[in-house]
C-alpha cells in the first residue's frame, strides 16, 4: 500500500497535478491527474492508495486527456463524428476511450452530424464555387449518412444554384481567349461547372439566361488562328478534296459553325 506524500500543481498547466507516492523508504513521482479527478477521488496528502485505485486513476486520466484533445479540436470549427474519431485515433488514444468520449460529446450536443452537414453546406455556398454533387461527395467522405446529406443539400436550392452559376458565367465572359471558338469556350465553361458539381440541367438553364456576347471579329480571329494551325499539320500530307474535308472536320470539332468554316476556306483560296 502506497501513501500520497506530495501533490504539486504543474507549472505549465495549472489544471493538472503531479502525485508523489511514498512506500515507506522513498518518495517518487507516480502520475499526474486532471483537477476534476483530484476532486472526484479526494486525493490529498496522506491518503493510502492501492494498486487497483492507481490503475483506475491512470485510466480515467487518459480518458480525460482524450476528452480535452477533442474539445480543443472542436475549438477551431465544428466536426463530424467520423472526423473526431479519426483525429483521436491519430493521437493514438484507446479505442474504448474514443468511444466513451464520442458518446459524451454527442450527449452534450458538441457533436452533431446533422448540424455539421448544414453548416458545411452554408459555408461552402458562401466561400466556394462548389455544386451540390461535389458537396455530397465531400460530406460522404466525412462519414455523413446519406439521408443527413440529402436534408442538408436541400438548403442549397436549385434557384440558388442557378444564380451562383449565372454570376460565375458573367465573370468568365471577359476571359474568353480570341484563339478558341465561342462554342469551344462555352463547352469549356460547362465542363468546369460539371467538375465543380453542378448538374447539366442547372448549367443549361443558367446559360439560357446569359446574354453571351459573340463578337464576329473575335470568332473570325479565332477561326483564323485555329485554321492556320490545322493547315500546317495537313499541308504536305493531303491535297485537294481530302485536304479540304479534313480541314473542315477539324475546325468543326473545334466548335466553329459550318458557314464560318466555308468562309474561312474561301478566303484562303482567294
Topology alike, domains 59-111 and 157-214: yes
Q: Which helix (H) or strand (E) holds 33?
A: strand 27-34
Model pTM above 0.75: no
Q: How many CB atoms lie within 10 A of CB 38?
A: 20
Name the packing angle between helices 182-195 and 216-234 (round to 10°).
90
Topology adopted by domain 113-155: Arc Repressor Mutant, subunit A (1.10.10)
Task: Quote the CA–CA distance of 200 and 131 in Å, as a whole number.
Answer: 11
Where are the domains positioned within the chain?
A: 1-49, 59-111, 113-155, 157-214, 216-270
Give the three cell numbers for residue 93. Answer: 488514444
Give the three cell numbers for residue 241. Answer: 478534296
Closest CA to 68 of 91, 43, 45: 91
Q: Domain 157-214 belongs to what architecture?
A: Orthogonal Bundle (1.10)
Task: Quote the CA–CA distance of 63 and 70 in Å, as a whole number.
Answer: 11
pLDDT of the chain along its 270 residues, tens only? 789 899 999 998 899 999 999 987 789 999 999 999 999 999 999 999 899 999 999 999 999 999 999 999 999 999 999 999 999 999 999 999 999 999 999 999 999 999 999 999 999 888 889 999 999 999 999 999 999 999 999 999 999 999 999 999 988 877 776 677 888 888 899 999 999 999 999 999 999 888 765 566 677 778 788 888 888 888 888 888 888 888 888 888 888 888 878 877 887 664
Q: Domain 59-111 belongs to what architecture?
A: Orthogonal Bundle (1.10)
The 8-class DSSP code of residue 235 comes to B
Angle 239-242-245 (CA atoms, 0-180°, nearest 5)? 125
Report the pLDDT value the prediction gives residue 75, as an integer from 0 to 100: 95
Name the packing angle between helices 200-208 and 182-195 (round to 10°).
140
Amino acid at each position: 500500500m502506497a501513501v500520497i506524500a506530495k501533490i504539486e500543481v504543474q507549472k505549465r498547466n495549472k489544471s493538472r497535478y503531479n502525485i508523489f507516492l511514498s512506500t515507506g523508504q522513498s518518495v517518487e513521482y507516480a502520475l499526474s491527474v486532471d483537477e476534476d479527478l483530484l476532486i472526484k477521488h479526494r486525493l490529498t496528502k496522506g491518503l493510502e492508495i492501492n494498486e487497483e485505485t492507481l490503475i483506475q486513476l491512470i485510466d480515467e486520466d487518459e480518458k480525460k486527456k482524450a476528452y480535452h484533445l477533442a474539445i480543443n479540436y472542436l475549438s477551431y470549427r465544428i466536426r463530424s463524428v467520423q472526423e473526431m474519431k479519426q483525429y483521436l485515433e491519430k493521437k493514438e488514444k484507446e479505442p474504448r476511450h474514443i468511444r466513451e468520449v464520442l458518446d459524451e460529446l454527442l450527449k452534450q450536443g458538441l457533436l452533431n452530424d446533422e448540424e455539421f452537414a448544414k453548416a458545411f453546406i452554408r459555408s461552402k455556398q458562401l466561400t466556394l464555387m462548389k455544386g451540390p454533387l461535389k458537396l455530397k461527395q465531400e460530406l460522404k467522405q466525412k462519414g455523413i449518412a446519406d439521408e443527413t446529406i440529402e436534408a442538408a443539400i436541400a438548403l442549397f436550392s436549385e434557384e440558388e444554384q442557378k444564380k451562383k452559376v449565372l454570376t460565375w458565367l458573367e465573370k468568365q465572359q471577359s476571359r474568353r481567349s480570341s484563339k478558341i471558338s465561342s462554342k469551344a469556350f462555352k463547352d469549356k465553361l460547362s465542363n468546369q461547372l460539371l467538375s465543380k458539381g453542378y448538374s447539366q440541367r442547372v448549367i443549361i438553364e443558367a446559360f439560357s439566361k446569359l446574354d453571351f456576347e459573340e463578337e464576329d471579329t473575335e470568332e473570325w480571329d479565332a477561326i483564323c488562328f485555329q485554321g492556320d494551325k490545322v493547315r500546317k499539320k495537313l499541308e504536305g500530307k493531303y491535297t485537294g478534296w481530302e485536304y479540304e474535308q479534313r480541314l473542315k472536320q477539324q475546325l468543326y470539332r473545334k466548335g466553329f459553325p459550318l458557314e464560318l468554316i466555308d468562309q474561312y476556306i474561301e478566303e484562303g483560296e482567294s
